[in-house]
Amino acid sequence: MATASVARNAYLTCYNSLQSLGWALVLLRLVNDIVETKSLRGGFSAAGNVVCFLQLAAFLEILHSALGLVPTGILFAFMQWLGRSHVLFAIVAKIPEVQEQPPIMITFLAWSAAEVIRYPHYTLGLLGLCPHWLTWLSASDVFIIGFHQGSEPLCKQLQVASL
Residue pLDDT, tens place only, 43-91: 999 999 999 999 999 999 999 999 999 999 999 999 999 999 999 999 9
**What average pLDDT score do residues 23-47 get?**
98
Beta carbons within 8 Å of 12's beta carbon, 6+ residues apart: 64, 69, 70, 122, 126
- Cα 39 vs. chain centroid, distance in angstroms? 22
- Which residue, 62, 60, 49, 61, is CA-closest to 22? 49
- How far is it, in rounded angstroms, from Cα 110 to Cα 108? 5
pLDDT tens profile 133-147: 999 988 885 656 555
pLDDT category at 40 given cuts 50, 70, 90 is very high
Q: Is 63 left (phi over 0), alpha (psi -120 to 50) or beta?
A: alpha
CB-CB neighbours of 57 under 10 Å:
13
> In the predicted model, is pLDDT for residue 154 greater than 80?
no
Helix axes 141-149, 151-162, angle to 10 degrees: 30
Calculate what percentage of the chain has a pLDDT beyond 70: 85
State the burial class of residue 25 (Cβ atoms within 10 Å of its Cβ: 0-12, 13-18, 19+): middle
Q: Is 101 left (phi over 0), alpha (psi -120 to 50) or beta?
A: beta
State the burial class of residue 162 (Cβ atoms within 10 Å of its Cβ: 0-12, 13-18, 19+): exposed
pLDDT tens profile 9-27: 999 999 999 999 999 999 9
